[in-house]
Amino acid sequence: MDSEQMVKLFHDLKNDFASMTALTNLHRKYAGEIQTEDLLNRIQERQNVISSAYEKLYQNKNYPFINMKTFVEELLSRTGRNHSGRQVDIRISAEIAEKELPLKRAVPIAQIIMELFTNSHRHAFNDFSGEKKISISLKEDNQNLVILYSDNGPGLPEEIIPEQAKTLGMLFIKSLSRQLGAKPEFNKTEEGLTFSLIIDDPEKKN
């Protein structure tokens, strides 16, 4: 890694530490509404995405790019094991493109996917007797990257309007989506909850 890349790396580290500080402050606002253990688990899960990203950078030796397929699949496997005591019979389908993305885009995309994934484990299948399913996709579509996510739980409560919701998870997803210049879309269907995010891919436009 040359000196210019080192400067960029330290700049990325600084931004990610600033992001974690802002995230911790956001969590603090909800300290009275969420159990301490759950709050700490949420922070730890989000920190894991960042630490895993830098681990991938080191392994790939291709700064600042990260292979999204191995990055996301390893995070899903690790997080699934951590939640195995909560739900052990969820059928997970994941199709992640073999796409190399720069760190500043790879991290928020992975954090969005993992936020949805952990929320499904925590909330989607409580008192749910049928076959539990989660579907995750990150694919290229023309000049865009597209995240598609769904679970077959009951979906969001009728009284919750996604665009107006101010839950911790929803605020986190909205903030990450803004970083990517995209607008998240949630929908409740007969088969559960669906989420989509269409992200401009600047590499395709150069």
pLDDT band at residue 109 using 50, 70 and 90 as cut-offs: very high
How much is the pLDDT for 16? Answer: 63
Domains within the chain, CATH numbers bracketed? 3-205 (3.30.565.10)
* Tens-place pLDDT, residues 179-199: 899 999 988 777 778 999 999
pTM score, two decimals? 0.82
Average pLDDT over residues 32-60: 75
Average pLDDT over residues 32-43: 64
| Mean pLDDT to the nearest integer, 112-119 | 92
Q: Which residue has the higher pLDDT, 34 or 58?
A: 58
Amino acid 169: pLDDT: 78
Distance CA 38, CA 90 (A): 21
CB 138 within 8 A of CB 113: yes
Task: Output the CA angle 42-48-52, nearest 5 degrees.
Answer: 160
